[in-house]
Structure 1
Amino acid sequence: MDTNKLDTNKLVIDHDSDTEQVMSVADKREAVDNIGVEICALAGQIAAATARFLTLLADFDEQRGWAGPGLHSCAHWLSWKCGMSLHTGREYVRVAKALRPLPQMRKAFEQGELSYSKVRTLTRVATPTNEKQMVRLGREAPASQIDRLTAGLRKVTDNESGKSKAPERFQVRWHWDADTGDFVIKGRLAAQDGARILAVLTTAEQERNRTESPSQEDEPTTEQNAAKKPPGDIGPALLAMAEIAATAGVNTATRAGTSAEVVFFHEHDNLRIPGGPVLTDSDSEEVLCNAHLRLAKTKKQCVLNLGRKTRVTSHKQMLALNYRDGSCRTPGCGRTRFLHAHHVRFWGRGGETNLDNLIMLCGTCHRALHRGQFTITALGDQQFEFHNTDGGVIDPAPPTEGFADQLLRGDIRDDAIIPRWGGDPLHLDHAVSVIFDGLDRESVLV
Structure 2
Amino acid sequence: MSSPATSLAHCERLEVLFGELAELTGQRNAIDGRVVEIVAEIDRDELWAAAGARSVAGLVAWKAGMSPANAEVIATVAHRSEEFPRCTEGLREGRLSLDQVGAIAKRAADGSDEHYAELAASATVTQLRFALKLAPKPKPEPRPEPEVEPEPDHTPEPVPAPEPSISKSTDGECTTWRITLPALEAAKFEAALASHQDALITDWKRDHDTEAADGSGQRPPMPSTADAFLALVEASWDAEASRRPHGQHTTVVAHLDLDKPVAALHLGPLLSDADRRYLTCDATCEVWFERHGQPIGAGRTTRTVSRRLRRALEHRDRTCAVPGCGATRGLHAHHIRHWEDGGPTEMSNLVLLCPYHHRAHHRGLITITGPADSLVVTDGAGRALSSASLARTPTTPPPAVAPYKGPTGERADWWWYEPFQPPPPPSAN
Q: Per the shorter chain, which TM-score range?
A: 0.7 to 0.9
The answer as to whether partners of 1:374 and 1:388 remain within 8 angstroms in 2 is: yes
Pairs aligned (count): 391
Establish whether residue 119 from structure 1 lines up as the match of residue 101 from structure 2: yes
Cross-structure match for 1:374: 366
1:73 aligns with 2:67: no
Which secondary structure does the structure 2 equivalent of 1:397 belong to? Answer: coil
Any conservation in 2 of the 1:201–1:238 contact (CA below 8 Å)? Answer: no
CA distance in 2, matches of 1:78, 1:276: 42
Q: Which moved more, 1:289-298 or 1:251-260?
A: 251-260
Amino acid at match of 2:422: L
Q: State whether structure 2 residue 280 is matched by structure 1 residue 285.
A: no
Matches of residues 35-434 of structure 1 in structure 2 within 5 Å?
A: 35-68=17-50, 70-124=52-106, 126=108, 129-153=111-135, 156-158=136-138, 160-161=139-140, 177-179=170-172, 181-184=173-176, 251-252=238-239, 261-266=250-255, 268-269=257-258, 270-296=262-288, 310=301, 312-379=304-371, 382-403=373-394, 406-409=397-400, 411-415=401-405, 418-420=406-408, 422-424=410-412, 426-427=413-414, 434=418
Question: Quick one: structure 1 residues 107 and 354, their matched pair in 2 at CA, closer, same or farther if it must change by over 3 Å?
Answer: same
Q: What amino acid is the match of 1:266?
A: H
Q: Is this contact kept in 2: 1:174–1:183, CA < 8 A? A: no
Q: TM-score normalized by structure 2?
A: 0.73
Q: In 2, distance between residues paired with 1:95 and 1:377? A: 36
- Change in Cα spacing, 1:178 to 1:99, as seen in structure 2 (3 Å) is closer
Q: Is the 8 Å Cα contact of residues 342 and 360 (structure 1) preserved in structure 2?
A: yes
Amino acid at match of 1:261: T
- Do the aligned partners of 1:212 and 1:336 also contact (CA within 8 Å) in 2? no
Relative distance call for 1:313 and 1:390 in structure 2 (3 A) is same
Q: Displacement of 1:38 after TM fit?
A: 2.6
1:221 matched residue in structure 2: none
For the Cα contact (< 8 Å) 1:243–1:338, is it kept in 2?
A: no
Question: Residues 126 and 363 from structure 1, CA distance in 2 versus in 1: closer, same or farther, beyond 3 angstroms?
Answer: closer
Segments of structure 1 that go 5 or more residues without pairing to the other structure are 1-6, 11-22, 219-227
The alpha carbon displacement at 1:164 in A equals 5.3
1:165 Cα deviation after fit: 6.7
- Contact 1:37–1:414 (Cα < 8 Å) also in 2: no
Cα distance in 2 between the residues matched to 1:165 and 1:126: 29
In 1, Cα distance between equivalents of 2:360 and 2:167: 25
Distance 1:412 1:259 in 2: 72
Kindly indicate whether the alpha-carbon contact (under 8 Å) linking 1:356 and 1:383 is maintained by their aligned counterparts in 2. Answer: no
Structure 2 residue identity aligned to 1:100: E
Q: Please give the alpha-carbon distance, in whole angstroms, between the structure 1 residues aligned to 2:108 and 2:72.
A: 19
Given the alignment, which residue of 418, 422, 425 partners 1:439? Answer: 422
Q: Are the counterparts in 2 of residues 249 and 259 from structure 1 also a CA contact under 8 Å?
A: no
Asked if structure 2 preserves the Cα contact closer than 8 Å seen for 1:247 and 1:259, the reply is no
Q: Distance in 1 between matches of 2:51 and 2:359?
A: 10
Distance 1:95 1:406 in 2: 25
Pair 317,136 (structure 1): closer, same or farther in 2 beyond 3 Å: same
Mapped to 1, the partners of 2:124 and 2:116 lie a distance apart of: 13
Residue 261 of structure 1 aligns to a residue in which SS?
coil
Distance 1:198 1:90, change over 3 A: farther
Q: Give the superposed CA RMSD.
A: 4.7
Distance 1:79 1:8, change over 3 A: closer
Secondary structure of the 1:406 match is: coil
Shift of 1:398: 4.1
Question: Using the alignment, how far apart are the partners of 1:278 and 1:322 within structure 2?
Answer: 33
Secondary structure in 2 matching 1:264: strand
- Partner of 1:376: helix, strand, or coil? strand
Percent sequence identity over aligned pairs: 22
2:13 equivalent to 1:31: yes
Deviation at 1:54, TM superposition (A): 0.9
Structure 2 gap ranges (5+):
147-163, 181-185
SS of corresponding position for 1:266: strand
Query: CA, structure 1 residues 204+62, in 2 after alignment: closer, same or farther (shift >3 Å)?
Result: farther
Contact 2:289 2:298 in 1 (8 A): yes
In structure 2, give the amino acid aligned to 1:78.
V
Residue deviations 1:220-259, cap 9 Å, x none? Answer: xxxxxxxx9966xx78x966x7897799799457797999
Q: CA deviation at 1:111?
A: 2.2
CA 1:375–1:435 in 2, change beyond 3 Å: closer, same or farther?
closer
Equivalent AA in structure 2 for residue 161 of structure 1: P
Displacement after TM superposition at 1:359 (Å) = 0.9
